[in-house]
Chains A and B, each alone.
Chain A
Amino acid sequence: MSAPGGGRAPRTPPFPAPRGAALLTRSPPRPFLLRWPGLLLAALLVLAWRLVGGDLGALFSNEARGALADFARGFFPPAHRPEFLAFLLRPLAETVAIAFLGLSLAAALALPLSFLAVSPEVLATRGVPPGPSRRAAYLGARAALNLMRSVPELVWALVFVRALGLGPAAGVLAIGVGYAGVLGKVFAEIFESAPRAPARALAAAGAPPLRAFAFAIVPPSSPLLLSYALYRFDCALRASAVLGLVGAGGMGTQLELSIKMLAYDEVATMVIALFVLVAGVDLLSQLARRRIRESSGLFPVGLAALRARGAVLLALGGAAAGSALLLDLPLRELLSPATLRAVGQLARASWPPDLAPAFLRELAPAVAETLAVSLLGTAIASVLGLALAWPAAQRLHAPEGGRVRGAALAAVAWIARGASNLGRTLPELLWALLLVFAVGLGPFAGALALGIHTAGVLGRLYAEALEELPLGPADALRVAGASGAAVSAFAVLPQVFPQLVAYTLYRWEVNIRASAVLGVVGAGGLGKLLYVSLNLFHHHDTLTLVAVVVALVTAVDLLSGALRRSILEGPAQSRRPAAGPVPALLDAW
């Protein structure tokens, strides 16, 4: 009947309108590229292209094709004179030895720092709330770890070579200090994410805080600690192959020489050797990590486990001693008073940093160039990486179509994975050395080098993300009759996009470190200024340059971290593919 109260009241429905109705009245959201972040990114990339002197003409010129042909011809056949192969054995062994000793040093330095760098809330569960001195130690440890991480390994190597002279000692210390920063941060995060109930129980039972920590938090974390250290070993191997470029031992010296003398057959042999080495180490590390996952924790149970543990320790000790002998590097010299004095002398000679306006004016374009190289390189890599990952993620492609199609798909996947591997194996610096001959000296070669190397890395990461994708939406669309392209564009890409962006942002952090040093081989940016200042013993300039590199890297890290958090913690909660046991393994190389 008529509404109470008389008059014509507005007709509201007796129940809320269905949500679909409200949605239909709103305009659909604009695609990412047309919203302001996408436009800003596009503008930055155009600016970066101009800054590095990007020139598509140079990329497709006769010279570039000639250089590429020269490089490819080196593989047919690679240098295989017996004297050359025998000559290579020692640098290869040196590379492995430097990586091994360097990583061991890094772990030894990282462990105490990571204890200090565990956050105060976790410390509180040990039974005693942390006092001000403990908090100060926490902040100091975190700052030290960040500093060690922010200086690229090559810069550490350049500085240690200047302080200690040429040779593997500088390389081992460079990897040791640089990776201690990386390992320390991840170790601290592992300790923080361990379950705290056992520590609380021990503390309640009266155990002193340190013992509660040692027996309740360290044992469950130790497989993860070992696993991560092993995971980093092949990064260390690649870093050590490059350190020879600045005289810190290993294969880099010979590689640089062969590239500079345009002896591409020798380069091919060394690339193959490096490839085999990295693949072998990768395999061993995977096996070891699987054994660690299945093992029973810190304390061995039973005599057999004890014997196995003892054998592993012996092997490690033997490897360390063997590496030291091979490198002609008495272990005690590494952290001896003479070494510390030499480093101290260099530090004293570098203070105060050079802040003359003329020098700072030289710095500004170099900083812009470095940033531009990193942006452009990462962007190129993400496009190339997606192109490589798509065929390699075989799960995505419709299984029907017969054996021929299946075989063709498998072959394309194999080629794509191979290309990713090639891009990944050769460090950015070596790609840059090769590319300066193709497209000319300068930052464009640097950006391309970064792009190719990172495309190899992102190709693998993207492929993993694509393979772990839940296929429900894709199958639903396919069953409904959508074409392959539509399935990709509307089902696969939107689901996996946040993860891909997160990986890309993470690689940008790695790339800014790489672009800071590419100038050492003529590819522009801050690296060239650093190379000149170190060679001319202009130590005050060196300090300024290192400080600028640290500031740049820290700024990029913070920006990238903030962007990643806002993307991953956005509405994409349910879409994230299952991460590994340690969230920090997003730090995937």
Chain B
Amino acid sequence: MHRHVRRLFRTLALAALLPSAAAAAELRVSAIPDEAPTELQRKFTPLGAYLHDATGLDVKFVPVTDYAATVEGLAAGKLDLVWYGGFTFVQARRRTGNAIPLVQREEDARFHSKFIVPAGSRAKTLADLKGASFAFGSVSSTSGHLMPRYHLLQNGIDPDRDFARVAFSGAHDVTAKWVEAGKVDAGALNESVWEKLLEEKKIDPARVRVLWTTPDFHDYNWTVRGDLDPKLVEKLRAAFLALDPTKPAHKAILDLQRAKRFIPTAPENYQAIEKAARSAGLIKD
């Protein structure tokens, strides 16, 4: 009796150790979680179908809740294609040494961050924000943390010393919500998400206004891991570049990605970001 029980238990234990069914050739895609996961999923679905047609692989979107995890995922070979911000791309490139940036949106060559305040705020310039409570996006966000911090420092404001409290909201739409509800005195977020929130009426323009817009910088790209099959890399690049706004099916994809079209990009475009990160103290060597 005892023997049977033991045998059964051992079988079950072994069953648990068996590897799950080996995945067929799969393209694992992810994105930095700079918006709510449902939103990321919604933006990606038609693009995923398009890439499946272009490459013949099963395309799987892997949501992550953490910017740094997208970098670690690429470095550990658990992700193949990732939508990065400028700073997370720099982090990924430093971690892997060979991450390949494929394409960026046309608007990403000249990107901006917006500083927003509640409509009733008395601040008129950046300097008026001294002593306020401030919300950045995520710690690793280019448009939500790095570039706003860099420009604050350039304008003589040290966020760690001159602000009463500094918080990381984790995502651009959360920053906007917090400022609208008056939970913080000011915040910085991505201009593209800001415009989308206004268009979709998710934020009431009567309750929030823009205080300042940063000078432009490079942001966002689709990056693949460096050890991916070069033929697959070329297929992916070609697929993105072939997206044509005059074709309705393609336009739907481009609209969700908030792109006019995709253009090629190169690692050199992000050197300015790396310099800014070093000067703002976000990269320590």
**Residue ranges of A at the interface with B (Cβ–Cβ < 8 Å):** 63, 161-162, 165-166, 244, 246-247, 253, 257, 260-262, 303, 306-307, 310, 313-314, 317-318, 320-321, 324-325, 328, 330-332, 342, 436-437, 440-442, 522, 531-532, 534-538, 541
Contact = CB atoms under 8 A, between A and B. Distances in A.
A318 B12 contact: yes
A247 B69 CA distance: 9
A260 B133 contact: no
Interface in B223-239: none
A164 to B, nearest CB: 8
A314 B1 contact: no
- A-B pairs, top 6 by smallest CB distance, nearest first, are A321-B16, A535-B139, A310-B5, A166-B69, A247-B65, A522-B167
B1 to A, nearest CB: 6
Given A165-B73, A441-B167, A535-B140, A331 B16 contact: yes
A529 B20 CA distance: 38
Nearest to A520: B168
A67 to B, nearest CB: 9
Nearest to B171: A260
A537 B95 contact: yes
Interface stretch (B176-184, B206-214, B242-250, B257-265): B176-184
B228 to A, nearest CB: 18
A325 B19 CA distance: 10
Nearest to A328: B20
Given A320-B16, A437-B183, A441-B184, A162 B68 contact: yes
A317 B65 contact: no
Contacts of B20: 328, 330
Contact of B16 (A166, A324, A537): A324
Contact of B13 (A162, A253, A317): A317
- A interface, over-half SS: helix
B24 interface: no
B36 interface: yes
12 contacts: A161-B69, A166-B64, A246-B66, A261-B36, A320-B13, A330-B19, A440-B183, A441-B167, A536-B282, A536-B283, A537-B95, A538-B284
A318 B140 CA distance: 41
A12 B9 CA distance: 84
Given A162-B72, A531-B168, A332 B17 contact: yes
B17 A330 contact: yes
B42 interface: no
Nearest to B160: A362
Contacts of A306: 1-2
Contacts of B76: 165, 342
B68 A534 contact: yes
B91 interface: yes
A326 B17 CA distance: 13
A310 B12 contact: no
Contact of B2 (A244, A310, A436): A310
Contacts of B168: 522, 531-532
B36 A166 contact: no
Contacts of B190: none
Given A313-B5, A442-B165, A536-B68, 19 more contacts: A162-B68, A165-B73, A166-B65, A246-B66, A260-B171, A260-B177, A261-B36, A261-B173, A261-B177, A313-B9, A321-B12, A321-B13, A330-B19, A331-B16, A441-B167, A522-B167, A531-B168, A534-B68, A535-B139
A165 B72 contact: yes
Given A165-B73, A535-B138, A441 B133 contact: yes
B15 interface: yes
A537 B17 CA distance: 33
B38 to A, nearest CB: 9
A532 B284 CA distance: 13
B147 to A, nearest CB: 15
B78 interface: yes
A537 B140 CA distance: 10
B273 to A, nearest CB: 14
A441 B2 contact: no
B65 A310 contact: no
A157 to B, nearest CB: 11
A148 to B, nearest CB: 24
Nearest to A318: B12
| Max chain B Cβ within 10 angstroms of own Cβ: one of A162, A261, A532, A537 | A537
Contacts of B69: 161, 165-166, 247
A208 to B, nearest CB: 25
B205 interface: no
B220 interface: no
B58 to A, nearest CB: 16
Contacts of B101: none
| Max chain A Cβ within 10 angstroms of own Cβ: one of B8, B78, B167, B177 | B167
Given A260-B170, A441-B133, A161 B66 contact: yes
Contact of B165 (A321, A332, A440): A440
A531 B139 contact: yes
A250 to B, nearest CB: 11
Contacts of B177: 260-262
B56 interface: no
A333 B279 CA distance: 40
Contacts of B2: 306, 310
A436 B20 CA distance: 42
A161 B173 CA distance: 25
A310 B169 CA distance: 51
A476 to B, nearest CB: 55
B67 interface: yes
Contacts of B16: 320-321, 324-325, 330-331
B267 interface: no
A537 B19 contact: no
B182 to A, nearest CB: 8
Contacts of A257: 36-37
A307 B17 contact: no
| Max chain A Cβ within 10 angstroms of own Cβ: one of B71, B133, B168 | B168
Contact of A537 (B37, B78, B91, B170): B91
B123 interface: no
Interface in B154-174: 165, 167-171, 173-174
Nearest to B283: A536
Contacts of A538: 284
Contacts of A303: 1
Nearest to A535: B139
Contacts of A531: 139, 168
Interface in B44-89: 64-69, 71-73, 76, 78
A260 B174 contact: yes
Nearest to B64: A166
Given A165-B76, A321-B15, A330-B19, A261 B68 contact: no
B56 to A, nearest CB: 25
Contacts of A442: 165
Interface in B98-130: none
Given A165-B78, A535-B139, A253 B65 contact: yes
Contacts of A441: 133, 165, 167, 183-184
Contacts of B91: 537
Contacts of A440: 133, 165, 183
